Amino acid sequence: MKCPFCGHLETQVVETRLAEDGGFIRRRRQCGACEKRFTTYEKPEVTFPAIVKKDGRRIEYQRDKLRASLNLALRKRPVSTEQVDGAIERIEEKLLALPSREVASNRIGELVMRELKKLDKVAYVRFASVYRSFEDIDDFKTLVDEVR
């Protein structure tokens, strides 16, 4: 592993720890030249299905995009980062369990709505009102009544 400080190629693992959820390994390393310490993370590489947009385009799955959507709906709501991380993990587990190599974008939207409904009802209504493109107040009222 190359030292991020001096670029020396020889580093030594000083400490190794498994993350609490077992999803990755944290390693503390020390450079053989400058003796500075740094942390690396080791996690399995997985391939998510391609996302098929409404217009037929195929794009790569982007975790940051999913997080941004959740955070936008949850803005100024009492939901912790850990809860958001948990929701993202559950969505990703469902995506990885799919038998096909492609998934429609609306399927991901439905998974997001399911998670938001469990986390925060207001965020769920925010997301659903934009995601389902409500045209009038009756659609919105129906959704709010459903949440109650």
Max CA-CA distance within the chain? 68
Supply φ then ψ for residue 13, to 5 degrees: -80, 120
Residue ranges of the alpha helices (H) in the chain? Answer: 63-73, 81-97, 105-119, 121-131, 137-147
pLDDT of the residue at 148: 73
CB burial of residue 68 (10 Å; 0-12, 13-18, 19+): exposed
- The pTM of the full predicted model, rounded to 2 decimals, is 0.66
Domain ranges of the chain: 11-42, 50-147
Give the pLDDT mean for 72-97: 94
Judging by DSSP bridges, how do beta strands 50-52 and 102-104 pair with one another?
Answer: parallel
Give per-residue pLDDT as tens, 9-65: 999 999 999 887 777 899 999 999 999 999 999 988 788 999 999 999 999 999 999
Angle formed at CA 91 by CA 87 and CA 96, multiple of 5 degrees: 145
pLDDT of the residue at 125: 85
Helix (H) or strand (E) holding 39: strand 37-42
CB burial of residue 126 (10 Å; 0-12, 13-18, 19+): middle
Give per-residue pLDDT as tens, 89-137: 999 999 999 999 999 999 999 999 999 999 999 998 888 877 776 777 7
